[in-house]
Amino acid sequence: MTLYGIPNCDTVKKARAWLAEQGLDYRFHDFKKAGVPAERLDDWLERFGWETVINRRGTSWRRLPAEERETMDTARAREAALTNPSLIKRPVVEHDGDTLIGFSADDWQETLA
């Protein structure tokens, strides 16, 4: 299992605590230190769409110029996320072919535990 995110993100902290409570082992991939794996990002964008992958409620989204937000599409989202990993909704977890974006204890329980 791989958990992708940023260590100081509150939602990532909740997800990591939940995984620990469940006794589930995982590898943590820090977007800030290790970057965004382009091939994983491409898969997420294809499977879920940029609207799910990009966190449109966060400060990183709000900091984008209005024109960039208004004309966002998959290609622009890819470039933006590779440049600024904080735009990606966190955490992303991959396990046995399943991918979950964002943290929901119920969804994670159903898929991971």
* Residues with a known catalytic role: 9
Q: Which residue has the tokens 């208004």?
A: 70
Q: Is 90 strand, coil or helix?
A: coil
Beta pairing partners, 93: 3, 100
Q: Is 67 strand, coil or helix?
A: helix
SS3 track for 35-53: CCCHHHHHHHHHHHCHHHH
The number of helices, as runs of H, and strands, as runs of E, in the chain is 8, 4
